[in-house]
Amino acid sequence: MNHPPIFAVILGAGKGTRMRSPLPKVLHKAAGRSLLHYVMGAVSGAGASTLVVVVGHGRNEVWEEAQRFPRKGSLEVWQAFQKEQCGTGQAVSMALPLLPPEADVLIVNGDGPLLSDQSLKLFIENHRKTKASLSIGVMERENPLGYGRVVSKNGRPTKIVEEREASAKEKKIKVVNGGVYLVRSSLLKTLLGQIRPSSQSGEFYLTDIVALAQKAKKKAVAYSFDPRELVGVNDGIQLAEAEFLLRKRWIEEWQREGVRILAPEAFWPEAGVRIESGAIIGPNVVLQGQTIVEKDAELGPGSVLIDTKVGPGAKVRAYTHCESAQISARAEVGPFARLRAGSQVGEGAKVGNFVETKNTILHPGAKANHLSYLGDTEVGADANVGCGFIACNFDGVQKHKTQIGAKAFVGSGVQAVAPIVIGPDSYIASGSTVNRDVPAGALAVARAKQENKEGYATRLRSRMLSRKGK
């Protein structure tokens, strides 16, 4: 059967007063992604061909965020402007001129980040199967406080009563409105035209379309969602609840796929993170941005990875911080390492404790195991960088490159004043400060000659003590 196209209307014009924040509500992030992008993801995933985002409070910022949504295929994203926020009913009216007369209009609140595309698809399917004129997404909540209560008769919703207008009896109703609606655009237009402002708040409530549909003898259907999917974010408590539920959803998916998560209650992934089977995630790990953890990799306790790729079988040990870094297969990093932007650790290479790298490549098998700074440095395959090495890469104005050849041995406490090329197979004596290139296979010693004065220390000490006695 040929169905009309689905146009989604996303309500995002509200200020979100209860968030107590200058940021427009739908721009708040839950686990790394804006509420708006979650909702856009759900409705586009459910088959909407065009998304009309109703913007108002913080219009420009909200519209910019809407445009940043990664579009797939021929998806269109449009805006409707609600100048003053006089309620959800008025917000939808602003989108009406953009809707073709015979579209199915899927209306969703912009503050429900847990809504999934799969459930929305079932909702749409049910609407078509039951030949409903209006469908609303509902859920049952032990504590319905703050949500619109759904009043029903003979199994059909007859009206939605908002918290502030509800009678004591209505307040006891546990079936509440989840802020998801589906209706043909022509009927929507008729119903919206009949909404009168609330006597309590003066707002035009979208939820009134249910009672109006009943009056017009149109079939309204309530479709039950898993209550975890319809959490609306109105304040900081609900934002934290939404983040908790999002993470729980991802964590359970990973667990089903064979990722071992040692402390699911203390794991902090964000939207966009990917983890492959066999990976082991320690307690208090934070994963942000486009981080990818490949097969069988291990992340130790407290490691923080931002936009970082961890190759198969690699080990990131406790309290390591990585940003825009790449760790190749079987490499080992940390504990307490810091990989800054542009760090690449090759296959089987090692970066140990208190080593900081920035814009640096360690080729396969290279090692920098202790207390070093490697900035703008390239370390050749199987080279060894000793404890306390410093790449002196910055002259106060410009950055310069340090190149260390394959299998070179850089002793402890070496400082390389860049730009400098340290040849392959060379050997740099510990404690050297090198500022000239070192040829391949050469030994470089660049430190003051040692002089020992026999018995001098003993004499010096007794002289000092006798001076103190006087």
Q: Which residues bind Mg ion (CB under 5 A)?
A: 111, 232, 234
Q: State yes or no: residue 138 binds ligand UD1 (CB under 6 A).
A: no
Q: How many residues bind ligand UD1 (CB under 6 A)?
A: 31
At 343, list the tokens.
Answer: 């760090």
What, of Mg ion, ligand UD1, none, does residue 25 touch, CB below 5 to 8 Å by kind? ligand UD1
The answer to whether 188 touches 105, Cβ cutoff 8 Å, is yes
- In the complex, what is the shortest distance from the CB of residue 206 to ligand UD1, in angstroms, rounded to a whole number? 5
- What are the C-alpha distances in Å from 266 to residues 96, 250, 253, 285? 45, 13, 16, 7
Q: Which of 28, 127, 363, 370 is catalytic?
A: 370
Indicate the DSSP class of residue 341.
T
Residue nearest to ligand UD1 (CB): 148
Mapped onto helix, strand or coil, the DSSP state of residue 269 is strand
- In the complex, what is the shortest distance from the CB of residue 132 to ligand UD1, in angstroms, rounded to a whole number? 19
**Judged by CB under 6 A, which of 82, 116, 133, 403 binds ligand UD1?**
82
Torsion 156-162-163-166 (CA) sign: negative
State the pairing for strand pair 343-345/367-375: unpaired
**Judged by CB under 6 A, which of 58, 113, 157, 178 binds ligand UD1?**
178
Q: Is 370 among the catalytic positions?
A: yes
Which positions from 300 to 339 touch ligand UD1 by CB under 6 A, shown as an x/- string?
----------------------------------------
Residue range at the interface with ligand UD1 (CB under 6 A); choices 79-87, 123-131, 211-219, 285-293: 79-87
Give me the residues paired with residue 30 across strands: 33
- In the complex, what is the shortest distance from the CB of residue 15 to ligand UD1, in angstroms, rounded to a whole number? 8
Residue 237 Rama label (left phi>0; alpha psi -120 to 50; beta): alpha
Write b or e for each residue in 97-115: b if 16 or more Cβ atoms lie within 10 A of its Cβ, otherwise e: eebeeebbbbbbbbbbbbb
Segment 52-71, which members bind ligand UD1 (CB under 6 A)?
54, 56
**Judged by CB under 6 A, which of 93, 119, 135, 207 binds ligand UD1?**
207
- What are the C-alpha distances in Å from 184 to residues 36, 122, 193, 416? 24, 17, 14, 71
Cis peptide before 113 (omega within 30 of 0): no
Q: State yes or no: residue 148 binds ligand UD1 (CB under 6 A).
A: yes
Q: How far apart are CA 467 and CA 470, in angstroms?
A: 5
Residue range at the interface with ligand UD1 (CB under 6 A); choices 174-182, 215-223, 370-378, 425-433: 174-182
Q: State yes or no: residue 139 binds ligand UD1 (CB under 6 A).
A: no
Chain positions contacting ligand UD1, by CB under 6 A: 11-14, 25-26, 54, 56, 82, 85-88, 90-91, 109-111, 147-148, 160, 162, 176-179, 205-207, 232, 234
Residues annotated as catalytic (active site), given as ranges: 370
